[in-house]
Homo-oligomer: A and B are copies of this chain.
Amino acid sequence: MSDTQTLAEKVCSELATAIVRGEIRPGERLSEKALVDRYGGSRAPMREAIQKLEARNLVVRIPHAGARVVSLSLEELRDIYEVRLELESMACRLAATRMSDDEIKDLEGLLEEHARSIEADQGLSYYQKSGNLDFHYRIIEGSKNNRLKQMLCGDLYHIIRMYRYQTSTNKQRPRQALKEHQRIVEAIAARDAELAELLMRRHIQVSLTNLESLLAQQEYLS
């Protein structure tokens, strides 16, 4: 069971990271021939890779006209954030009743690690990069709802990460974010689902609010 991975899957995941990293820009075209030239193989696997990306909402395909990297308007981005806000709050509520004591212990340990990393003031970027995601990911895991997990991690997060430069709020408030994380975990440990949901909602709300103010500015211009 070494490399049973299909070529289409490999190309798909490579393209996905390239898109998320911005190496391929929104609106840019993905021609099948160009992918053949770049990754080798034939058109069939490339086509399949593109379709997989379409399923992840990373590209838009128009019959006979080709595929383009998705290019979201601010309004579409607001829609996504709105849904994410709701689903992740829900996940937090469920996690408060469904996480095992051990999982909660682990989560507390993770936060302590983050705290140390911040105090050392050198893992700041670490905290930003994977730490924040890690925390949210564990909450989602804790919801014990696989469909929810699939929707949040599979569909929404790819796009959110792609446009993460919008979430400039989080950049210089790691301590504040950590505090909020801690209070969320406290609520979960207390099995207080309502409070946990509320705190998570507030925690994510800042990004959404920012986005909405951007939207408002944009409307002034038109």
The reply to whether A87 and B76 form a contact with Cβ atoms under 8 Å apart is no
Which single member of B51, B63, B64, B147 contacts A79 (CB below 8 Å)? B147
The reply to whether B146 and A63 form a contact with Cβ atoms under 8 Å apart is no
- Cβ of A125 under 8 Å from chain B: no
Chain B contacts of A5 at CB under 8 A? 63
The reply to whether B55 and A9 form a contact with Cβ atoms under 8 Å apart is no
Chain B contacts of A6 at CB under 8 A? 63-64
- Cβ of A151 under 8 Å from chain B: yes
- Cβ of A90 under 8 Å from chain B: yes
Copies in the complex: 2
- Cβ of A18 under 8 Å from chain B: no
Distance of A50 from chain B, by nearest CB (Å): 10
Band of interface residues on A:
20 to 34
Distance of A75 from chain B, by nearest CB (Å): 8
Bound together, the chains give a CA A62 to CA B70 distance in angstroms of 27
Chain B contacts of A52 at CB under 8 A? 51
Distance of A64 from chain B, by nearest CB (Å): 7
The reply to whether B79 and A148 form a contact with Cβ atoms under 8 Å apart is yes
What does DSSP make chain A's interface, helix, strand, loop or mixed?
Answer: helix
Chain B contacts of A4 at CB under 8 A? 63-64
Bound together, the chains give a CA A94 to CA B82 distance in angstroms of 10
Most B CB atoms within 10 A — which of A76, A90, A147, A151?
A147
Chain A interface (Cβ < 8 Å from any Cβ of B): 4-6, 9, 44, 47-48, 51-52, 54-55, 63-64, 76, 79-80, 82-83, 86-87, 90, 94, 145-148, 151, 155
Give 23 CB contacts A-B under 8 Å.
Answer: A4-B63, A4-B64, A5-B63, A6-B63, A9-B63, A51-B51, A51-B52, A51-B55, A54-B55, A79-B145, A80-B147, A82-B90, A82-B94, A82-B147, A83-B90, A83-B145, A83-B147, A86-B86, A86-B87, A86-B90, A87-B87, A151-B151, A151-B155
